[in-house]
Amino acid sequence: MTVHADAGARDDRVRRVTILGSTGSVGQNTVDLLLRNREAFEVEALTANRNPERLAEQARALGARFAAIADPAHYTALKQALAGTGIETACGAESVVEAARRPATWVMAAIVGAAGLAPTLSAIKRGVIVALANKEALVCAGVLVMQEVARCRATLLPVDSEHNAIWQCFDRARVDAIERIILTASGGPFRERNFEDMRGVTPKEAVAHPNWSMGAKISVDSATMMNKGLELIEAHHLFQLPLDRVEIVVHPQSIVHGAVVYRDGSVLAQLGSPDMRTPIAYALAWPDRIEAPTKRLDLAAVGSLTFEPPDERRFPALRVAREALIHGGCCPTVLNAANETAVHAFLEGRIGFLQIVETVERTLDRIPEGKLESLDDVYNFDTAAREVAARLSGIRASPRAPGLTDLR
Ligand SMILES: NC(=O)c1ccc[n+]([C@@H]2O[C@H](COP(=O)([O-])OP(=O)(O)OC[C@H]3O[C@@H](n4cnc5c(N)ncnc54)[C@H](OP(=O)(O)O)[C@@H]3O)[C@@H](O)[C@H]2O)c1
């Protein structure tokens, strides 16, 4: 994880904030915290894809300077909703990148999917604090993103609850003393289903996560456990640890979010109610802490916490993601793009639940392995993987993640 010692000190007293993906689940939780802590923050820019009403409402409530909507079809609605407010508006994938380039000192990267990569990189290039929820950016271009973080002296703060938990327990001054890190997984809604019974799972069942309220894509990823596979890759890049020092444990209560195991056998863990406002608040105020209105943990009421190993026979996504990282090069990019396409096809009712991971594996088999040395390579492998996965899923290919165009 890249946290520069002077990063907190460099920040202004009133933090100027931009939220990329403010209308989504993480984005709305961030807006909620900003509204509760108005005196400590001012808002530079907010972005959305297809929800001009919510974007306009947030921009008004927070007094944002700039509101960008990626899909131009919704620009008129945004302009009308913000007429007379003095809030600047723009549309298109490039306007989201422009939002990331504006002078905020803290940027929340909360766009879903590889579409978040270009704007996230634009914020990183400004050398500011980037709170990263958009795990797909690290999965599809991890080495390149981390190189940019170091080159531009940006500060990358993990928002994913597991990585945020590990970060809170991770002694950066004594990395040598760290043996391994532990990511917990809820196991998703089908933790106890047998493999064959998962064949008929509907999108509605798959998005109904037992503990967390999240966007549709990450909810399906949690149900297949691809989410934990993506997080394994994310953790490897953030904490710069080899795979054999990143452990995954299923913990159905989602109370222990992550832990760090030290050489002397000590295990430091972070606990809390499953509410994203805790990790977001930690990143938002870092290195301070602010009030978050989350349900306080009552350990006696929780009673017992249980842990079990993941079952990779029923949830092959974990193995597929691990193998993609071991193969390296373009494989994680292909994994991510194929998964985004297959999840989309599943949500559209075009493929079954078990076909999601099958499609990812078949796409990986069909695309010859190659090196990932530039953002052009990311763009090309992402596009190729989307085409293959779309063909396998019987849907029309979305040629690339919208937003990736800006990498060229
Ligand atoms: N939700 C969670 O609790 C949680 C926890 C940990 C990590 N994460 C990660 O955080 C990221 C966001 O997750 P989420 O659950 O908040 O997703 P979400 O609810 O689906 O929201 C996604 C956001 O991205 C915007 N967006 C979608 N496609 C876009 C595009 N092509 N260009 C520009 N903006 C686009 C959406 O705009 P519209 O609203 O206009 O469509 C929305 O603001 C994901 O990477 C996820 O894995 C989420």
Cβ proximity of 406 and 94 under 8 Å: yes
pLDDT at site 403:
72
Going 348 to 351 to 354 to 355, the CA torsion angle's sign is negative
What contacts 290, CB < 8 A, 6 or more positions away?
A: 33, 37, 40, 281, 284
247 is written with which tokens?
A: 């452990």
31 Cβ below 6 A of ligand 1: no
Provide the token pair at 244: 């054999």
**Confidence (pLDDT) at 10:** 46
Sheet-wide strand order for 178-185:
246-250, 178-185, 256-262, 267-271
The Cα 340–Cα 361 span in angstroms is 13
pLDDT for 1: 55
pLDDT at 397: 72
Which helix (H) or strand (E) segment is 268 a member of? strand 267-271
Residue ranges, the chain, pLDDT below 50: 4-10
For 376, left (φ over 0), alpha (ψ -120 to 50), or beta? alpha
The finding on whether 26 has its CB within 6 A of some atom of ligand 1 is yes
Q: Which pLDDT value is given to residue 406?
A: 62
For a mutational test of ligand 1's pocket, the pick from 135, 139, 159, 214, i.e. the residue with the most ligand atoms closer than 8 A to its C-beta, is 214
Report DSSP state, residue 6: T
Alpha-helix residue ranges (DSSP H) falling in 240-347 = 277-285, 299-302, 317-327, 331-347
CB-side neighbour CA atoms (13 Å) of 33: 27
Q: Bridge-partner residues for 68, per DSSP?
A: 47, 90
Beta bridge partners of 88: 66
Nearest CA to ligand 1 atom 24: 111
Residues 6+ apart with CB under 8 A from 225: 185, 187, 188, 310, 315, 317, 318
Distance 298 CA to ligand 1 centre (A): 30
Question: pLDDT value at position 396?
Answer: 79
What SS3 state is found at 254?
Answer: coil
Dihedral pair phi/psi, residue 106, rounded to 5°: -140, 125
Burial class (CB in 10 A: 0-12, 13-18, 19+), 111: buried
pLDDT in tens, 312-361: 999 999 999 999 999 999 999 999 999 999 999 999 999 999 999 999 99
Tally the C-alpha atoms within 13 A of residue 140's C-alpha that lie toward its C-beta: 34
Q: How far apart are CA 359 and CA 391, in angstroms?
A: 10
DSSP 83: T
Q: Kind of pairing, strands 256-262 and 267-271? A: antiparallel
Distance 340 CA to ligand 1 centre (A): 12
Select from 163, 149, 129, 94 the least CA-distant residue to 19.
Answer: 129
d(CA 283, CA 11): 13
Pocket-testing residue among 20, 23, 26, ligand 1, by greatest number of atoms within 8 A of Cβ = 26
158 lines ligand 1 (CB under 6 A): no
131 ligand 1 Cβ < 6 A: no
Ligand 1 contact, 390 CB (< 6 A): no
pLDDT one-digit tens code per residue, 130-188: 999 999 999 999 999 999 999 999 999 999 999 999 999 999 999 999 999 999 999 99
Residue 322 C-alpha to ligand 1 middle, in angstroms? 24
Mind giving me the DSSP string for 14-46? Answer: SEEEEEETTTSHHHHHHHHHHHHTGGGEEEEEE
